[in-house]
Structure 1
Amino acid sequence: MSVPPFHTLLSRAERAGLYHMPFAADLALEEAAESLEYPLHRVNLAQVADKEAFLDAVGKALDFPDWYGHNWDALADCLTDLSWMAADGYVIVLEHSDTFSKAAPADFAMALSVFQDAADTWREDGIPFWTLVGTSGDGIDWLQDME
């Protein structure tokens, strides 16, 4: 049995953070997350054009608790807690992010900052927290590529 190429990378908390979703690597990443028993959550942002819709989409996709307040602080609190789905690592895919990034660039940047801060917090406990941002074109050139 061969190990998916991302298996080793996903398990490394020190490398986890915010990255471009690798082109044509969807299945390999899903298999790697599954083999590590990391929940992989997909947040479909195709119809998201503002902060409120983004916060709602994330809350639904990650099954946030009832106390989730639909604001940046509540998002940060939920992303750094995740006690309702305790795991040894996490993979979140923000799919089809182009609409949101173009319609509300400041809110999009804030959202990614919250996800990066969550990865930094989890890293302190040695837990990998990956956020992969899917774009259809050149997308967001300042995001890192997974290697």
Structure 2
Amino acid sequence: MNTMELGALLADPTQAGAYFVDARDRESLVEAGGALQFAVLPVDLRACADAAAAMREIAETLRFPEWFGDNLDALADCLADLSWLPSEGYVLMLEHTADWRAQDPEAMGTVLEILNDTAARWAADRIPFWAFLPVSTRELEAINA
């Protein structure tokens, strides 16, 4: 997919959601989001083996307000608001999720649901909200199997 096609895709809020992507496509996605002047937010989850640690990292990167409650409901509430981080669109790059997915697959599944629900909520306001999880080609094949 060329840069123009990728930009057109990212600009379409009806297509937005949470997606596992080939790690080799990470830079293209970041560049396309930046070209659209979206908030591009890389979240390094390398040290996170559970949802609590991942939420803390997400909260820090997205500068969640003081009232963030460190739980899944509060994560959904903050992602649905983002008034402190106004943008024409959002690209979250949730990187290095392998340990978390292995240690706590149920919580990872719940967070993916929250991210998809968030994308649908923002789409109603015509604002793209993307969450990409770059993984190796082998991991992507296993996930898609």
Bigger mean CA deviation after superposition, 2-11 or 115-124: 2-11
* Equivalent residue letter for 2:73: D
Q: Which runs of 5+ in 2 are unaligned?
A: none
Q: Partner of 1:115 in structure 2?
A: 115
> Does structure 2 retain, via aligned residues, the 8 Å contact 1:21–1:93?
no
| TM-score, L = length of structure 1 | 0.89
CA deviation vs aligned residue, 1:36-81 (integer Å, no higher than 9, x gap): 1101111111111112101101101111111111111110011010
Mapped partners of 1:21, 1:32: distance in 2: 15
1:77 aligns with 2:77: yes
Q: Which runs of 5+ in 1 are unaligned?
A: none
* Equivalent residue letter for 1:61: T
1:62 aligns with 2:55: no
* Equivalent residue letter for 1:141: I
Q: Partner of 1:105 in structure 2?
A: 105
1:28 aligns with 2:62: no
Deviation at 1:4, TM superposition (A): 4.6
| Greater share of helix | 2
1:43 aligns with 2:43: yes
| TM-score, L = length of structure 2 | 0.90
Deviation at 1:138, TM superposition (A): 1.5
Q: Percent identity?
A: 34
| Structure 2 SS opposite 1:43 | strand
The number of residue pairs the alignment matches comes to 142
* Runs of 4+, deviation exceeding 4 Å: 2-5
> Does structure 1 retain, via aligned residues, the 8 Å contact 2:45–2:96?
yes
For the structure 1 residues 134 and 27, does the alpha-carbon distance in structure 2 shift closer, same or farther, using more than 3 Å as the test?
Answer: closer
Deviation at 1:3, TM superposition (A): 4.8
> Does structure 2 retain, via aligned residues, the 8 Å contact 1:94–1:133?
yes
* Equivalent residue letter for 1:98: A
> Does structure 1 retain, via aligned residues, the 8 Å contact 2:22–2:135?
no
1:138 aligns with 2:135: no
Q: CA RMSD in A?
A: 1.8
CA deviation vs aligned residue, 1:60-116 (integer Å, no higher than 9, x gap): 111111111111111001101000111111000110111000001111111111111
Mapped partners of 1:3, 1:104: distance in 2: 35
| Structure 2 SS opposite 1:25 | helix
